[in-house]
Structures are given as structure tokens and as C-alpha cells.
Amino acid sequence: MSRLMVSVSGIRGIVGESLTPDVVQRYTAAFAASMGRRIVVGRDSRVSGEMVEHLVTGTLLAMGCDVIRIGICPTPTVQLAVENLKASGGIAITASHNPIEWNALKLIGPDGLFLDEQQGRQVVERAEGGDYELATWERLGKVDFYGEAIRDHQAAILKLPFVDLEALRRRKFRVAIDCVNGAGAVFFPEFLQQLGCEVRAINCTPDGRFPHTPEPVPENLTQLSRFIREHPVDVGFAVDPDADRLAILNEKGEPIGEEYTLALAVAFILGKRKGKVVVNASTTRAIDDIAAGFGVPVIRTKVGEIHVAKRMREEQAVIGGEGNGGVILPEVHLGRDAPVAAALTLQHLMESGKRLSELHASLPQYRMVKMKVELGEVSPDEIITKLVEKHSSTEADFTDGVKFLFDRSWVHLRKSNTEPIIRVMAEAPTAEEAHQLARRFRNEITRLME
């Protein structure tokens, strides 16, 4: 039996096991009790989405909320719709990059941001304590369908001052796109056409039947790589099922690594105007090198979109995001947004006059390696404390777990909030050095467990 994953920004589980109708109703009711009376509901395309959406909608009505359904759409479209429609909150029904058997509720506050720790804890406590009241018959909510949310989102990007639509339409980029049959399929092909691209789409039927493991990391993009080798294009894009993360492939069909989606966006935006950059603790140090070139600071936060988004708002950052392909541009909204990342990439490519592979090669080059160590009964905090003692003379950052900083490399050790593991991430100028560093710390952890 799988466990229900509860975090401040929502709940996630396997449909029919941990994510049962009862659980969906309890958390939806708790959210409604905390948030207020007008809730936007959107979902990705996965097969269980229809079932979960009916449960969520019915529960919101029972709580006396009016529901604005916006249908299948990317998660950033739900976030933006909450803001645009002046709703009191939103629920995106999506398990993001998780496989087909999963689904989840991502909870959004009235500002279009995911719930933060304080708001999220309130919802979890209410759900666990059954602390909410159902409406009586005369106070039940009603349902509306709003069919323009995708169009609104597309329009918000197309009117960005950095996007030169006329020039892009003249340039006519050839673009391959893989939406893994997720929610990106109802957004991307049309959006890329609006940007003047000649679109070659694969896996763009929004039926939620993922033809490959849906996380857009290089090992899952072999089909798109092969497609690009057979059908020449200027650039390839791949998104996860809720289209907040973008991966980029060059004209040879090689994935440039999802860290470089954000690196490209940061380099482009800082070239337009200088300002603070906010990224999470695990994001590539290519960002620091790029920002140093423009003389602007990089602020690092805990891992997780809400941490980055809130800090961006506080610092009035000009750009930010997470290295997993999640670009946040405050002009559109404070959430990771794959369509925004795609538009910036195309404009950048056009202005550079380079090929994608050359543009990538012009950035500082690092390679990242991710591993995890299963801990069983051993406490992750204890292990991390011991490692910090052992390496007390090494420069360290404690923003999220511990990150040891070396001259041209780093290693980041974080416990998971949902599994008994420690994540080990290392970055260095070459893949071999990154591997070596990650392995060294993995071995240290294993020894400390004995």
C-alpha cells in the first residue's frame, strides 16, 4: 500500500490506494474552509483527472464555494487564472512528473502562488481534524466553465516586451515538441504557431497515456532525440505532464540538460535589464557565473517553487526559478512556466543568430549528478550533522540541508520529506568530477550508517 504524500502545497498519492475519494474530499473541504468562496479548478490530462475533478468540484459545491472550471491546462495556467479571475484560490489536479498511477492536488492561494508553509499547515490540520463545516442546501455553490484561460495565458506571454512577435514570425523557427500526451498538448502546438514556428509535434494527444516516463530528463527524451535526427529542426522542447518544466534539445537532438533552460533564460533577461536573480539551493552554479558577468546578485532559497516565488516577490527579482527546467518570470506570474521559458528561448536564439548548440556552448559549462542513499531506520538529520562536523573546515551553505562549496564544484545533501533517503547532488565542470564528488559523499554516508 502506498503512503499519501502530504506537503504544504498539496497532497499526492496513487489513485485507488492512498489517493482515495475520501482523502480528496477531506483535503478539498479543508482547503475550501481556509480559502473562501470562489475557486478555480484545472487539471492535467491524466486518466484519473476526470474522476478527481468531479470529487473536487462536488466537494467545493458542498462547502458553499462557487467553482470556475477551466478544464485541461498547464499548472501555470491555473495559477494565472486565479489571479486574472480574482478568485479566492485554485486547485490544480496534477501529479506533475509522476507516473500515470499517481495524481495530486496542488493548492493555490488568492495571489496565484502555491500555499506557503503557514497556509498549508492550516489546511493539513483542518483536514486531519475534520475541522470544516458543510453548507446547507440554500448556500451550496454553483459551477461555471471559463474557456479562455489558455488563451489568456498565451496572450500574457505574447505581449511581453522582450518577445518580438513580428521578427519571430519572419524567422519561422522549426520546432519539435514532445508533450508526453499531458496538458502541454492543449497549449504548446498552438502557442508555438502563434510564435511563428513550424511545429513538429509528437505525443500531443491530451489523453494522459504517457508514452514514456514523463519527467523531462535526458534519459526519457530518446524518442524526441531520434525524431529530431530524422526531422531537422532548430530546437526541440519537452515538457512534463503539467507543463511547468521545460527541457530543451539542440538542433542535433541532444538534450542540453534541464539546468540550462534556466541558465539560458537568466542570461537572456539579464541582457535586457539588470536585477536580482532568485534560484533554489540545488540550481547550477552557471547561474552565479552568468549573474557575476552582469554584476548582479544571486539569492538562493530552499528547494520548492513556493520558496523561490515568495523570495522573488520580496526581493523584486527580475528572473528566477529552479534548475529542473522551471523558469519564473514575474511579468507573467510568480510560478514556474514552461511556455514562458519556450518563448524566451526562441527570442534569445533569434537575437543571438547562433545555433542552439552554439548558444548553449557560450554559457559556463557544468555537469550535475544526482544520487540518493536509502537510509532505512537511520535518521537523516543525524547523518547530516555528522557530515557537517567532519567537514567543518569546508565552506558550507545551510539554506536547505547542507551544501559544501569547493572552488569549481559543490555537493548538496538534502533529506527528503517524503521518503527515508538523503539526496546527493554534485556539480563540477566535468561529468567525471561530478560523479566522483557524489560518489565520495555517498560512500561517506554509507560508512556513517554502519
**Among residues 375, 358, 379, 381, which one has the least CA distance to residue 442?**
375
d(CA 366, CA 214): 25
Q: Judged by CB under 5 A, which of 240, 400, 427, 433 binds Mg ion?
A: 240
Please choose, out of 60-68, 235-243, 286-294, 409-417, the segment that lies near Mg ion by the rule CB under 5 A: 235-243
Report the residue number, 196 or 241, with the smaller CB distance to Mg ion: 241
Report the residue number, 242 or 433, with the smaller CB distance to Mg ion: 242
**Among residues 404, 367, 98, which one has the least CA distance to residue 281?**
404
Helix (H, G, I), strand (E, B) or coil at 277: strand
Task: Please count the residues of the chain.
Answer: 450
CA distances from 123 to 70, 139, 233 (A): 23, 22, 47
**Beta strands 174-178 and 235-239, pairing class:** parallel
Q: Helices 75-84 and 338-352 meet at what angle, rounded to 10?
A: 100
d(CA 307, CA 218): 26
Please choose, out of 92-100, 163-171, 353-361, 393-401, the segment that lies near Mg ion by the rule CB under 5 A: 92-100
Our finding on whether 250 is near Mg ion (CB under 5 A) is no
Conformation bin of residue 328: beta by default, left when phi > 0, alpha when psi is -120 to 50: beta
d(CA 418, CA 353): 45
x/- letters, 186..225, toward Mg ion (CB under 5 A) = ----------------------------------------
Helix (H, G, I), strand (E, B) or coil at 353: coil
Our finding on whether 244 is near Mg ion (CB under 5 A) is yes
Per the annotation, the verdict on 96 as an active-site residue is yes
Our finding on whether 254 is near Mg ion (CB under 5 A) is no
Using CB under 5 A, count the residues that bind Mg ion. Answer: 4
Our finding on whether 322 is near Mg ion (CB under 5 A) is no
Considering the complex, what minimum distance in angstroms separates the CB of residue 223 from Mg ion? 19
Please choose, out of 176-184, 193-201, 233-241, 255-263, the segment that lies near Mg ion by the rule CB under 5 A: 233-241
Our finding on whether 103 is near Mg ion (CB under 5 A) is no
Our finding on whether 96 is near Mg ion (CB under 5 A) is yes
Please choose, out of 91-99, 161-169, 217-225, 429-437, the segment that lies near Mg ion by the rule CB under 5 A: 91-99
Considering the complex, what minimum distance in angstroms separates the CB of residue 94 from Mg ion? 7
Residues that bind Mg ion (CB under 5 A): 96, 240, 242, 244
Residues carrying an active site annotation: 96
